[in-house]
Amino acid sequence: MNAPELALFAAETVYAAGIPIIEITMTVPGALEVISDVAHRYPDMAVGAGTVLDEDLARRCIEAGARFLTSPGFVPEVVAYARKANVVVFPGALTPTEVIAAWKAGSDFVKIFPTAPIGGVQYIRALKVPLPQIPLIATGGVNQLTALIYCRRCDCDRNWCGAPSARGSASSPGNRIRELARRFLGMVKEGRETWEMYH
């Protein structure tokens, strides 16, 4: 199974498992075609484009059917184009200065990337103290082992979980992806219920 086929397969599998959102990064060969295919097959699924680094690519992603744009860092022209096109955008940021700049540029959310190497839960909580009005998404190191911790201990608006392990499961990738999706959904539900109970 080549990269575009695997990306499409992953999209189909997580959709069937009950997750109605997926990000296709521009590092996937044929990413624009995959976005277009998923958008047409599953019109109620929010397929987005990741690693969008310039305005031209942002335009092509939206034309292919992307309903949100994201990148590993703050690219002002991508944020500006997404706002003009009325498409959700959440650029990456790491420092408080970057987070504030991305938010002031009009981002819908700000994606903290990479979260784990810089301190994980503690770092997100530290950012939220002076910046409670900025909706943050934790990414980079959020996985099946840490997702529940982020949900329970962070005042974080979203957790963005990757599934690189799907690549290493060629014998039964569908079962692997479905199981990961099931676990993530369960952990997020439990984490939200716990948060609501104590806040």
Please determine, for residue 188, whether its predicted confidence score (pLDDT) is greater than 80: no
Reported confidence tier of residue 166, pLDDT bands at 50, 70, 90: very low
Domain regions of the chain by residue span:
3-198
CA distance 52 to 76: 11
Please determine, for residue 165, whether its predicted confidence score (pLDDT) is greater than 90: no
Question: What CATH homologous superfamily does 3-198 map to?
Answer: Aldolase class I (3.20.20.70)
Per-residue pLDDT, 121: 87
Q: Which residues contact 21 (CB under 8 A, 6 or more apart)?
A: 45, 46, 47, 48
The string of pLDDT tens digits covering residues 23-59 is 999 999 999 999 999 999 999 999 999 999 999 999 9
| Tally of CA atoms within 13 A in the half-sphere of 116 that contains its CB | 13
The string of pLDDT tens digits covering residues 50-77 is 999 999 999 999 999 999 999 999 999 9
The string of pLDDT tens digits covering residues 125-164 is 899 999 999 999 988 877 666 766 676 656 555 545 444 4
Find, among 72, 80, 75, 151, the residue nearest to 112 by Cα.
72
Listed in sequence order, the DSSP H helices in 19-120 are 31-41, 55-64, 76-84, 96-104, 115-118
Find, among 161, 158, 157, 156, the residue nearest to 121 by Cα.
156
Which helix (H) or strand (E) element contains residue 152?
Answer: helix 147-153
The string of pLDDT tens digits covering residues 73-121 is 999 999 999 999 999 999 999 999 999 999 999 999 999 999 889 998 8
